[in-house]
A and B are shown apart, each in its own frame.
Chain A
Amino acid sequence: KAGVTQTPRYLIKTRGQQVTLSCSPISGHRSVSWYQQTPGQGLQFLFEYFSETQRNKGNFPGRFSGRQFSNSRSEMNVSTLELGDSALYLCASSLHRDSHTEAFFGQGTRLTVV
């Protein structure tokens, strides 16, 4: 069974641009969550989607948005990029919406904003 796939693995963007990151969950998983990982702030929750609906959102500005498609694949978009958006963005998928189910993580997308 294929794991969580995130594309691209690496990305370099210029300040002011926008970027879209993609996450394909494990087959059959319907919940997808996104996290931002930086050396200073650690791992922070961005948002979570289940059945194409955003169910929970972290404390990030409106420049960060996401969506989920009917096949459970998810995209995350960051508009008007800032230097501080440079981070590793991790996606996690879970089988159910229940909080006890294990979250499986992808290898992340390393975004560098210059």
Chain B
Amino acid sequence: DTEVTQTPKHLVMGMTNKKSLKCEQHMGHRAMYWYKQKAKKPPELMFVYSYEKLSINESVPSRFSPECPNSSLLNLHLHALQPEDSALYLCASSQDWGRDIVYTFGSGTRLTVV
């Protein structure tokens, strides 16, 4: 299995809602990442998890709350989002240590905040 699976593919939520994005991989990767991508822009790193521990938080607002319950699963909990948070959210995974590390991305969740 060489895939990163993200669910849901599309999500529409109100500004008062609570929702979660899910990311799963079974490649034995011990580093997992959340990126946010606005239309026609490059992905921007949000969080990095290494061995289920948060190692990088790129000063993301607290309305985004990541969680890594085990080595295969990464969640992004959303609460009280703003319309400007509408974007494509990409999950990626990689080995944490080794030669020529490559990042594998999921297909993303397209989030619309109304």
A and B are interacting partners: no
